Homo-oligomer: A and B are copies of this chain.
């Protein structure tokens, strides 16, 4: 399943709550103010979602961030996570949602 993270983790507990119930194979999209999770150590260091150190196959797109929202805010994917977080556009966002059985928004 896919989790859409729509609020800043510094302001809202929603990402925190999502991580508490997420499964190891779930996918995540950071969007809107949710992209500020890229600045949040608790997210970047989360063992559950960044668990697969050997799997750097970007086609899996397990952790994604909406590129427009990233650019708008002047953020970049941290060097440490260049292999594990992928920036996607809206066409890929659509595919991502349709490739998952369920999508849940967190706000």
Contacts and interface: CB of A to CB of B under 8 A. Distances in A.
Interface of A: 10-14
Contacts of A11: 12-14
Question: What is the interface of chain A mostly: helix, strand, loop, or mixed?
Answer: loop
Contacts of A13: 10-13
Nearest to A9: B13
A10 B13 CA distance: 7
Contacts of A12: 11-13
Contacts of A14: 11
Contacts of A10: 13
7 contacts: A10-B13, A11-B12, A11-B13, A11-B14, A12-B12, A12-B13, A13-B13
